[in-house]
Chains A and B, each alone.
Chain A
Amino acid sequence: MKYVSEYRDAARVKATIDEIRRTVTRPWTLMEICGGQTHAIVRHGIDQLLPPEIELVHGPGCPVCVTPLELIDKALAIASGPGVIFCSYGDMLRVPGSNRDLFSVRAQGGDVRVVYSPLDAVELAVQNPGKQVVFFAIGFETTAPPNVMSVLHAQRLGLANYSILVSHVRVPPAIQAILSSPQNRVQGFLLAGHVCAVMGYWEYPPLAQQFRVPMAVTGFEPLDIVQGILATVRLLEAGKIEIANPYSRAVTFDGNRPAQTTIERVFMECDRKWRGIGTIPMSGWCLRPEFDAFNAEKRFAVGAIQAEESPLCIAGQILQGLKKPHDCPAFGKQCLPENPLGATMVSSEGACAAYYRYGRSIRQPA
C-alpha cells in the first residue's frame, strides 16, 4: 500500500464511472468545494468521462482566489516596508493587488520569500533578530493547524519579530451561503477531503438536513474523486440525506482533535470578506486578542485600504457555482494566466486557470 498508485489506476476509475452510469437515472448537479479537486477533475477529464446526467460545478475552495483584494494590498504595503522579511506560500506571489503583486515588490527590492511551511518563517525570525518576519497566513481549515502552531512556537521561543497576516476562511459557512442563494442549483456536495481530515465531518449533517442536500467526503486522486461522485449519486438516487465518507483512509467523523483544539486556542471565528463573493458572516478565523503581539495588522499601521476589482471579471459568480469560466466574455481574451483580471485565473487551483490550461475554452455540448 503506497496510497498513491492504487488511486490513479485507470481500470479502477473506469469501473467506478461504469457504476455511476448504472446508478444514475436523472440529471444531478454536484459541486466540488475544493480548488485542488477542480484542478484534478479538469486535468484528468473526469467531467468529460461522466454520464451526461452528472454536471459538476466548481466551488469557492481556492484560498488564493477568495483572499480579498484589500488584504493583498495590505500584504504588499507590509512587504514593501523597510526591515521586513515577508514570507508566503508560493501561489500568493502572482496574485494581483490593486496595482501590483508580491513578485513586483521583490523586483523593486522588497525581501519577499517563499516558504514551504510556516515553521520555515519562524526559523527566519530566529536567524534575523534585526528584521520583522511576517507570514501571510491564508487558507482554509487545512492550513490553520500549521499557521497557529507557528504562532505558538514563536511564543515559546520568545520571538518579538514574528507576526502573521491572517485571512483564514472556513468551508461550512461558504456551503451555507451557496445553498441559501435563491439561484442555487447544487444538489450534492463533494466535501474537501483534507479540510475534513483536520475538522472531521461533524459540522456537515445539520447543513445537509437543513437544505436536504447529501454530501460525500472526497479525496484528491482520480479514483477518490469518482468514488466521491458515486457516493453522492447513490445518496441522491436513494433520496437519502447523509454524509458518506469514501475517503475513510484519511478522514474520521471527529477529525484531528489535537489540531482542532490548537486552532481554537489561537483563532476565533469572525466575519470574513471573500473576494468576488462579499462578506459571509462568521466565515473566517482571526487571531484571538491575547495573540495581538503576533498580529501583523496590529503591528504594522497599514490602515484601511480601498481596493477596486476589474468590472469585466465574473469570478464571484464562478466561485458560487452560478457560472462557468467559458461564460465570461473576457476568458482567454483580456483575461489570461499571464495577465489575470481576477483571482480564479491566477491560482492554478482556480477554475478559470484550470479550464484555460487544459484547453476548455469552448463550452462542452451537454
Chain B
Amino acid sequence: MTAASRWDRPPALRRECEVEMCLGIPGKIVDIYEKSDLRMAKVDFGGVFREACLDYVPEAKVGEYCIIHVGFAISLLSEKEARETLDLLQQISDIEEELGPGFGTAAT
C-alpha cells in the first residue's frame, strides 16, 4: 500500500472518529476458524489483516472475497459477475475505438 490516500485505507488505520459504519470493503479470506460458537475468518485487506464473522456467508471458503462490513461478511463476491461487468464495458470501449471519437454524437 504505497501512497494510498487516507480514504483508501481500511478502517483500522483511520483516526478513531473516522471508523465509519457504512463503507463495506472487499477482503480476501485467508483463514477460517471457530471462536465461541461463531464462524470467524482472518481477512486480508490489501496487506492489512482483520477478523470477520462469517455466520451470514456460511458457504464462503478460503481464497474467496467477501464484502466485509463492521466485522461481518455480508456478501460473497462473484468473480463470474465481476468479469461479465468488466467485459461488457470493454465492448463499449472497443466499439468507440473502432468507430472513432465522433461516434454517438449524432444522437445529441
Contacts and interface: CB of A to CB of B under 8 A. Distances in A.
Interface string B35-76: 011100000001000100101111000000101011110110
Given A25-B107, A114-B16, A149-B53, A143 B21 contact: yes
A292 interface: no
A246 interface: yes
A2 B79 CA distance: 10
A149 B69 CA distance: 13
Contacts of B18: 90-91, 348
Nearest to A140: B22
Interface string A36-51: 1000000100000000
Contacts of A145: 56, 72, 74
A309 interface: no
Interface of B is mostly: mixed
B60 to A, nearest CB: 12
B77 interface: yes
Given A1-B82, A15-B92, A249-B82, A258 B17 contact: no
A116 B70 contact: yes
Nearest to B103: A22
Contacts of A59: none
A248 B69 contact: no
B74 A142 contact: yes
A91 B74 contact: no
A43 B90 CA distance: 25
Given A89-B21, A157-B36, A119 B16 contact: no
B97 to A, nearest CB: 10
Contacts of A194: 22, 24, 67, 69, 74-75
A118 interface: yes
A256 B56 contact: yes
A19 B92 contact: yes
What interface size band does chain B fall in? 35 or more
A250 B70 contact: no
B81 A91 contact: no
A348 B92 CA distance: 34
Q: Could you say which of B20, B37, B103 has the most chain A C-beta atoms within 10 Å of its C-beta?
A: B20
Contacts of A203: none
Contacts of B11: 116
A24 B69 CA distance: 35
A35 B22 contact: yes
B78 interface: yes
A117 B72 contact: yes
Contacts of B57: 256, 258
B30 interface: no
Contacts of B105: 22
Contact of A248 (B23, B81, B107): B81
Contacts of B23: 36, 220
A143 B15 CA distance: 20
A53 to B, nearest CB: 9
Interface string A142-176: 11011001000100110000000000000000000
A271 interface: no
Interface string A1-27: 111101000011001101101111100
Contacts of A250: 67, 75, 77-78
B61 to A, nearest CB: 15
A256 B107 CA distance: 41
Contacts of B38: 119, 153
B100 interface: no
A118 B67 CA distance: 17
Contacts of B26: 2-4
A15 B95 CA distance: 11
B21 A91 contact: yes
Contacts of A138: 21
A262 to B, nearest CB: 8
Nearest to A198: B74
Nearest to B10: A116
Given A15-B92, A89-B20, A143-B21, A246 B70 contact: no
15 contacts: A1-B79, A12-B89, A18-B96, A36-B20, A116-B71, A146-B69, A146-B70, A149-B56, A157-B36, A220-B24, A227-B89, A251-B75, A256-B74, A258-B58, A259-B56
